[in-house]
Amino acid sequence: MQTGKTVLVAFAALGATASVALADGVKSDAAVSAPSVTVMGIAGSASGKATGGGAASVALPVTDRIGVQVDGALTNAGGTGGMDAGLHLFTRDPNAYLAGGTFEWSRFGSTNAYRYGVELAAYLGDVTLGTTGGIQRGGANHATTTAGYAAVQADYYLFDTLKTSVSFGGYSNYRAVLALVEWQPVNDTPLSLFTEGGASVAHEHRGIVLAGVRYTFGAPNSTIKDRDRHGDPEVFLQSGIASSNLMGNTKAFEPAVTPAAPQPAPFNPI
């Protein structure tokens, strides 16, 4: 738990620093046009249980071609709390590509999970094709498990203010598919509404339906497409809430339970 508090405090400090330095959100060909903070609220149902949470993401330019993104989230699914934090260091040409390294930490109930990986994206007009993958380690009750993880995602912008997205990913024996629609009602106001749904397609049968709202500070005239390519890069697999519930992150890292030995039948004297 101490690790989680340290990560969240560091994230809050970086977010405060960025909020002081927020610029006008003007587009440029830099990896990150200007410092920005995106906040999100989400609610819905996961496997029949009420689910909700909040998240924030800070994007900062490091050099003209290098940017850094820090993410944090607090969630609750069926009465069980969770925390997430991530760090993404990337190079990007907003007219062509994104490539970077990622670190993510998640805690759900008593389970901690750590991901070390890479992410790649190609910007092809109104289409974005992306992939991410790496190594995932985690454990509950002092047990540790290691597995690979990977995901692919395709986004299509019907308009700069209306995005559709589908992704498929998994780790170990768990697989999930997710779909999202995001809409920005007013062009020059960086507030968007979104809904996403998904289902597990292997190992366990789970479903999820979520709805939420996003707002980006520091980019007053940006559209959804501008935000994704010039500001705050989107995190693949979309939301930790969805991927955690659909792919059973908590169960994947629980230590195996040894079945109890069979008990002899009671002695009944005649």
Of the listed ranges 144-158, 209-223, 227-241, the one predicted with least confidence:
227-241
Asked if pLDDT for residue 176 goes beyond 60, the answer is yes
Of the listed ranges 36-45, 124-133, 142-151, the one predicted with least confidence:
142-151
For 31-52, the pLDDT digits (tens) are 999 999 999 999 998 878 898 9
| pTM of the predicted model as reported, rounded to 2 decimal places | 0.80
For 202-233, the pLDDT digits (tens) are 666 778 899 999 999 987 788 999 999 998 88
- Give dist(CA 112, CA 101) in Å, integer: 20
Query: For the chain, what are the domain ranges?
Result: 2-252
Cβ 173 vs Cβ 180: under 8 Å: no
Mean pLDDT of the chain: 79
* Residue given tokens 């890292």 in the structure block: 253
Cβ 40 vs Cβ 213: under 8 Å: yes
User: In terms of C-beta density within 10 A (0-12 exposed, 13-18 middle, 19 or more buried), how is residue 72 classed?
Assistant: buried
Q: What is the pLDDT of residue 234?
A: 76
In 10 A of CB 30, how many CB atoms?
A: 18
- Token pair belonging to 92: 């990007």
Q: What is the pLDDT of residue 13?
A: 47
The 3 state secondary structure assigned to the chain is CHHHHHHHHHHHHHHHHHHHCCCCCCCCCCCCCCCEEEEEEEEEEECCEEEEEEEEEEEEECCCCEEEEEEEEEEEECCEEEEEEEEEEEEEECCCEEEEEEEEEEEECCEEEEEEEEEEEEEECCEEEEEEEEEEEEECCCCCEEEEEEEEEEEEEEECCEEEEEEEEEECCEEEEEEEEEECCCCCCCEEEEEEEEEEEECCCCEEEEEEEEEEECCCCCCHHHHHHHCCCCCCCCCHHHHHHHHCHHHHCCCCCCCCCCCCCCCCCC
* Residue type (1 letter), 186: V
Residue 6: φ, ψ to 5°? -60, -45
- Give dist(CA 267, CA 117) in Å, integer: 59
- Give dist(CA 5, CA 28) in Å, integer: 35
- pLDDT band of residue 107 (cuts 50, 70, 90) is confident
- Token pair belonging to 229: 């390519």
Q: What is the pLDDT of residue 96?
A: 96
Residue 100: φ, ψ to 5°? -170, 180
Cβ 136 vs Cβ 173: under 8 Å: no
Does 2.60.40.10 match the CATH number of domain 2-252? no
